[in-house]
Chains A and B, each alone.
Chain A
Amino acid sequence: GAVVSQHPSRVICKSGTSVKIECRSLDFQATTMFWYRQFPKQSLMLMATSNEGSKATYEQGVEKDKFLINHASLTLSTLTVTSAHPEDSSFYICSARGGQGNNSPLHFGNGTRLTVT
């Protein structure tokens, strides 16, 4: 089945530094990937849609200059949290559609737990 790999799984960084999270589709090509954020005991909130070869589409309220998304190839999308602050600490999870049909589900990476100190 479709596999999405996300790296790193955990990262601790100091306030003011930047963190890059990678999301790879291992056995399929993904022209579109989605980045979600999840606070403890809450739902997944869509941050942005990553489009291969073009600019990402950000959801309302998500700062595009804060959360830089690059989708340079059909198998890789990256999310960079710039100048991270403690309030950016969260679980970030990427996903991609694994099949051709409209009923193909989102396949998720295992997520990245970011802690900003």
Chain B
Amino acid sequence: AQKITQTQPGMFVQEKEAVTLDCTYDTSDQSYGLFWYKQPSSGEMIFLIYQGSYDEQNATEGRYSLNFQKARKSANLVISASQLGDSAMYFCAMREGGRRDDKIIFGKGTRLHILP
């Protein structure tokens, strides 16, 4: 069974609009972490934002925010005021367990296209 589910294989959004990328996860651990990464066409993986399972407030980093709904096991990424440079693949990822060397697994990703 998939641990990380990203249901949107591709999205087209008009520049300057906000965009929400969906992510649901499956774990029985109480302690876990959720990450979002951006992968441009160059292939590098760029860390965007992190949410810990015990964090009570939604994480924010500049234009990125994470809509964390623990009961629904949902961790959607919200990008405000989208820019052309936001066009990329976006991956949701999860670290199960509370140890820093616990592995991180990735969802299938969403390809975001920002339209001028």
**Which chain A residues have a beta carbon within 8 Å of chain B's beta carbons?**
31-32, 34, 36, 42-46, 49, 51, 91, 93, 95, 97, 100-108, 110-111, 113
B43 CB-CB contact with A under 8 Å: yes
A105 touching B35, Cβ below 8 Å: yes
B50 touching A105, Cβ below 8 Å: yes
Q: Residues of B contacting A31 with CB < 8 Å?
A: 101
State the total of A-B contacts with C-beta under 8 angstroms. Answer: 62
B109 touching A43, Cβ below 8 Å: yes
- The list of the 4 closest CB pairs from A to B, nearest first, reads A108-B45, A32-B101, A105-B47, A44-B106
Partner of B100, one of A93, A100, A111: A100
User: Residues of B within 8 Å of A, CB-based: how many?
Assistant: 25
Closest to B50 in A: A103
A107 touching B47, Cβ below 8 Å: yes
B100 touching A106, Cβ below 8 Å: no
B52 touching A110, Cβ below 8 Å: no
B113 CB-CB contact with A under 8 Å: no
* Complex Cα–Cα for A34 and B35 (A): 16
B101 touching A95, Cβ below 8 Å: no
16 CB < 8 A contacts A-B: A32-B101, A42-B109, A43-B91, A43-B107, A43-B108, A46-B103, A46-B106, A49-B101, A97-B101, A102-B33, A102-B52, A103-B50, A103-B52, A107-B47, A111-B44, A113-B43
Scan B1-39; emit 1 where CB is below 8 A from any A CB, else 0: 000000000000000000000000000000101010100
A110 touching B104, Cβ below 8 Å: no
* Complex Cα–Cα for A43 and B44 (A): 13
Closest to B104 in A: A106
A102 touching B98, Cβ below 8 Å: yes
B9 nearest CB across to chain A (Å): 9
Scan B44-75; emit 1 where CB is below 8 A from any A CB, else 0: 11010010100000000000000000000000
Closest to B42 in A: A110
Known: A46-B105, A46-B106, A102-B99. 20 other contacts (CB 8 A): A34-B104, A43-B91, A43-B108, A44-B106, A46-B103, A46-B104, A49-B103, A51-B101, A93-B43, A93-B45, A97-B100, A102-B100, A105-B35, A105-B50, A106-B35, A106-B45, A106-B93, A108-B44, A110-B43, A113-B43
